Amino acid sequence: MKHTALIVEDDPATRHVLATTLGTAGIETIFAETGAAMWQRLKDEPDLIVLDLSLPDADGLELLRQLRQQSEIPVLIHSNRSDEIERIIGIEIGADDFLPKPCNLRELLARVRGLLRRCQTKPTSARTEGGNRLHFGNWVLNTASRELATLDGTPTALGVSAYALLTAFLEKPFEPLSREHLSRVLKREYTPYDRIIDVHVSQIRRILGAQPDGSAYIKTLRSQGYVFIAPVECH
């Protein structure tokens, strides 16, 4: 199956390098040099966006914020603006991954492939084979449509990385999951000081809010990882 990546980047040399790198894996590329052009190219229905944060007409973080109000397309930020705060804000807003410029192009390709696989892979565990609706607290996750909604049916946006992590938690409630395990869920190489997992978990906590008794759905286990602490029913 052919995939298409939308590269939102104003530097011609970077666009060429990214297109060549993705092309080695058979991933087609289309381009947008500005934020305005990005909205136009979305009509071509790309499978993934590689987004620079510094564009001539727009701030990439604001573009991402607006995009997440209408789409859950995977977004990999690729930017010179790569300090810790920018990375955390990007993930909190809805980016699925973040790589600084310059980066190892083989790693970028691996991250892109991982995001594309996450979009296509449906859960196959014993918990999800018997039904497609996982009910916990005031929430329902539909694993067929990948939609998270409240009990009254109000949907909530959930990016592909957050979806993958939430599904992993729901499949093993009350079971500690290490950061290394969660990195494998995201098809990332685990590094001890990589905070991407922590930021995604923080994002999920913010989305879910508190349980009916006031406690958080996900508890941090010092030196171990995280544990989901609510019963999960599969319908």
CA 45 to chain centre: 18
**CATH-assigned architecture of domain 3-120:** 3-Layer(aba) Sandwich (3.40)
What integer pLDDT is reported at residue 122 of this predicted model?
Answer: 44
Which one, of 152, 124, 128, 160, lies nearest residue 142 by Cα? 128
Q: Which fold has domain 126-234?
A: Arc Repressor Mutant, subunit A (1.10.10)
CA–CA separation, 43 and 39 (whole Å): 7
Report the pLDDT averaged over residues 218-223: 89
pTM of the predicted model as reported, rounded to 2 decimal places: 0.67
pLDDT digits (tens, 9 = 90+) for 27-43: 999 999 999 999 999 99
Kindly tell me the burial class for residue 77, based on how many C-beta atoms sit within 10 Å of its own C-beta (0-12, 13-18, 19 or more): buried
Per cent of the chain over pLDDT 70 is 94
Residue 212 vs residues 137, 139, 209: alpha-carbon distances, Å: 7, 11, 10
Domain ranges for the chain:
3-120, 126-234
pLDDT digits (tens, 9 = 90+) for 60-97: 999 998 998 888 899 999 988 877 788 888 888 888 88
CA–CA separation, 15 and 50 (whole Å): 10
CA–CA separation, 162 and 153 (whole Å): 19
pLDDT digits (tens, 9 = 90+) for 105-136: 988 998 898 888 877 654 444 344 444 889 99
Report the pLDDT averaged over residues 156-175: 89
CA–CA separation, 55 and 33 (whole Å): 7
Mean pLDDT of the chain: 86
CA–CA separation, 163 and 143 (whole Å): 9
Report the pLDDT averaged over residues 186-201: 78
What integer pLDDT is reported at residue 129 of this predicted model?
Answer: 45
What integer pLDDT is reported at residue 121 of this predicted model?
Answer: 52
- From edge to edge, which strands make up the β-sheet containing 48-51? 27-32, 3-8, 48-51, 75-79, 97-100
Q: Is the pLDDT of residue 184 over 80?
A: yes
CA–CA separation, 78 and 52 (whole Å): 5
Specify the length of the chain in residues.
Answer: 235
What integer pLDDT is reported at residue 124 of this predicted model?
Answer: 40
Q: DSSP string spanning 153-211? A: --EE---HHHHHHHHHHHHSTTS-B-HHHHHHHTT----TT--HHHHHHHHHHHHH-B-
- H-run or E-run covering 199: helix 196-208
Report the pLDDT averaged over residues 36-51: 94
Residue 194 vs residues 84, 94, 104, 107: alpha-carbon distances, Å: 10, 17, 16, 14
What integer pLDDT is reported at residue 120 of this predicted model?
Answer: 66
